[in-house]
């Protein structure tokens, strides 16, 4: 047979042929080949093997036109510069690719207007679903933005990841840090630390509010008294971490330990302390949220509160596929863990912090 004849024969293979060879119904074969989540592993193996053996090559464009599916999703994260979110984006994209979905990735840059611009673009592109790290409620109305409301009323399958929106009924994959914070505070207390500072994030982020609330609870659980003078409100950016580092050194309460709510702020703070000769661990015990490489390669390595981002990405894609299939998945939480490293050490009788303040 000529090459042209072979190609013609290959293109003549239909989904009915695949179903027959696999010993399943046409409907089952169609679900498997379209990446539908409601298929058993056994059926999926049989159909995929039959399709490969027969040389079945579905016409993706025709399938998209018939079903209005695009086999694509959109992921909107908060800040591409933040290693936590770049790792999360990588995880979502990889798990989506495994499921046969292409991922458009957008960056809100911790800004509601940029969030809304990206969402508007994705609605016009008719993606099959959205995975969103939301930017929070409008500060004046305490409601989602107009564009977010359009998305939620459009019927497009949507889930939230990492953060949620209070009062908005959208499946969310988040992390619970209460237990890890309690362990971190208990460890610091056991090492003699009484004044523990907290560098938090912006109030529009649900994670910032949850982390500070859990920190206050952890202090109470361990018999320590919270002090607003030891709470610095940052914005999840390195520059605010640098400001927090200077604030901590000048603080009259002279905290001997600090917990920082994300990696970028920690990076900014660590840079300032290095410049000023503050010895992390020896002079100041430091714990940060986010298990990212920058914290592990620091000298000394930084104690962290974090969770498995690959698992979070996997759960997000699975939840979105369930919504796309007409199901209603329940919200899910990953439990964060505290990992003790040399950046946390015993408190000194007199903490050596004097004289290490920028002019």
246 and 182 within one domain: yes
Mean pLDDT of 295-316: 96
Based on the fold, state whether residues 188 and 296 are members of the same structural domain: yes
Report the pLDDT averaged over residues 211-218.
Answer: 96
> What separation, in Å, do the N-terminal and C-terminal C-alpha atoms of the chain show?
85
Half-sphere exposure (Cβ direction) of 112: Cα atoms closer than 13 Å: 16
Which sign does the torsion angle of CA 149, 73, 318, 90 carry?
negative
Q: Do residue 297 and residue 315 come from a single domain? A: no
203 pLDDT exceeds 80? yes
For 136, the token pair is 């929070």
Whether 299 and 211 map to the same domain: the answer is yes
Residues 253-272: tens digit of each pLDDT: 999 999 999 999 999 999 99
Task: Identify whether residues 191 and 155 lie together within a single domain.
Answer: no
- Specify whether 197 is located in the same domain as 303: yes
Q: What confidence score (pLDDT) does residue 275 get?
A: 96
Q: What is the pLDDT of residue 8?
A: 36
Give CA–CA dist 1/128, Å, rounded: 41
Same domain? 27 vs 79: no
Indicate if the pLDDT at residue 289 is higher than 80. yes
pLDDT beyond 50 at 358: no
Rg (CA), the chain: 25
Q: Taking residues 228-248, what's their average pLDDT?
A: 96
Domain count, the chain: 3
Q: How confident is the model at residue 40 (pLDDT cuts 50, 70, 90)?
A: confident
**Do 202 and 313 fall within a single domain?**
no
Residue 193 pLDDT exceeds 70: yes
On whether residue 355 sits in a domain, the answer given is no
Counting every residue written for the chain, the total comes to: 359
Q: Dump pLDDT digits (tens) for 72-99.
A: 999 999 999 999 999 999 999 999 999 9
pLDDT at 226: 87
Mean pLDDT of the chain: 88
Percent share of the chain, pLDDT over 70 = 89
Q: Please tell me the predicted confidence (pLDDT) of residue 4.
A: 39
| pLDDT at site 29 | 85
Residue 104 counted as domain residue: yes
Indicate the pLDDT class of residue 58, thresholds 50, 70 and 90: low
Cβ neighbours of residue 61 under 8 Å, at least 6 residues apart? Answer: none
- Of 33-37, 47-51, 255-259, 323-327, least confident by mean pLDDT is 33-37
What CA–CA distance (Å, rounded) separates 128 from 314? Answer: 17
Tens digits of per-residue pLDDT, 124-162? 888 999 999 999 877 777 788 889 998 998 889 999 999
Q: Are strands 303-306 and 337-339 parallel, antiparallel or unpaired?
A: antiparallel
Q: Over range 167-183, report the average pLDDT.
A: 95
Judge if 171 and 194 occupy the same domain.
Answer: no
38 pLDDT more than 50 = yes
- Of residues 8 and 334, more confidence is placed in 334
Does some domain include residue 350?
no
Query: What's the average model confidence in pLDDT over 165-177?
Result: 93
Asked if the structure places residue 93 within a domain, the reply is yes
> How many other C-beta atoms are found inside a 10 Å radius of the C-beta of residue 32?
24
> What's residue 26's pLDDT?
84
Tell whether 343 is covered by a domain: no
Does residue 359 lie in a domain region?
no
Binning pLDDT at 50, 70 and 90, where does residue 27 land? confident
> Using 50, 70 and 90 to split pLDDT, how confident is the model at 65?
very low
Residues 313 and 169 in one domain: yes
Q: pLDDT band for 2, please (50, 70, 90 cuts).
A: very low
Q: How confident is the model at residue 119 (pLDDT cuts 50, 70, 90)?
A: very high
What's the pLDDT score for residue 9? 36
Q: Buried b / exposed e across 90-125, counting CB within 10 Å, b at 16+?
A: ebbbebbeebebebbbbbbbbebebbbebbeebbee
Q: Which domain holds residue 329?
A: 72-175+309-334
Residues 11 and 160 in one domain: no
Q: Please say if the pLDDT value at position 43 is more than 70.
A: yes
Q: Are residues 273 and 217 in the same domain?
A: yes
Confidence of residue 349 (pLDDT cuts 50, 70, 90): low
What's the whole-number mean pLDDT along residues 340-346? 97
- Residue 35, in any domain of the structure: yes
Domain CATH code at residue 279: 3.40.50.2300
Confidence (pLDDT) at 37: 61
Cα–Cα distance between 314 and 325 in angstroms, integer?
A: 17
Q: 15: domain CATH number?
A: 1.10.260.40
Is residue 346 situated within a structural domain?
Answer: no
């Amino acid at each position: 047979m000529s090459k042209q004849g072979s190609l013609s024969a290959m293109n003549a293979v239909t989904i009915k042929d695949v179903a027959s060879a696999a010993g399943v119904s046409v409907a089952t074969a169609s679900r498997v080949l379209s990446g539908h989540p409601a298929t058993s592993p056994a059926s999926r193996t049989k159909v995929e093997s039959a399709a490969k053996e027969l040389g079945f090559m579905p016409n993706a464009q025709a399938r998209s036109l018939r079903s209005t599916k695009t086999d694509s999703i959109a992921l909107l994260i908060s800040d591409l510069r933040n290693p936590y979110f770049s790792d999360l984006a990588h995880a979502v994209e990889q798990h989506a690719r495994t499921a046969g979905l292409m991922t458009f990735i957008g960056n809100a840059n911790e800004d509601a207007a940029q969030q809304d611009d990206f969402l508007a673009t994705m609605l016009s592109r008719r993606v099959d679903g959205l995975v969103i790290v939301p930017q929070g409620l409008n500060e004046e109305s305490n409601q989602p933005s107009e564009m977010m409301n359009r998305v939620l009323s459009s019927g497009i399958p949507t889930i939230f990841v990492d953060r949620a929106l209070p009062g908005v009924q959208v499946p969310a994959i988040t992390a619970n840090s209460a237990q890890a914070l309690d362990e971190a505070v208990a460890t610091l207390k056991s090492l003699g630390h009484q004044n523990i500072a907290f560098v938090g994030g912006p109030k529009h982020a649900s994670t910032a509010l949850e982390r500070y609330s859990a920190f206050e609870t952890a202090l109470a659980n361990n018999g320590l008294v919270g002090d607003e003078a030891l709470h610095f409100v940052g914005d999840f950016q390195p520059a605010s971490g640098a400001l927090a580092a200077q604030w901590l050194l000048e603080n009259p309460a002279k905290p001997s330990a600090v917990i920082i709510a994300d990696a970028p702020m920690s990076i900014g703070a660590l840079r300032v302390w290095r410049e000023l000769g503050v010895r992390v661990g020896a002079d100041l015990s430091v714990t940060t949220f986010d298990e990212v490489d920058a914290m592990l390669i620091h000298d000394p390595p930084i104690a962290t509160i974090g969770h498995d981002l690959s698992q979070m990405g996997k759960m997000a894609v699975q939840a979105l596929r369930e919504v796309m299939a007409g199901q209603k998945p329940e919200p899910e939480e990953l439990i964060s863990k505290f990992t003790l490293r040399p950046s946390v050490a015993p408190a000194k009788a007199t903490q050596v912090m004097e004289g290490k303040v920028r002019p």
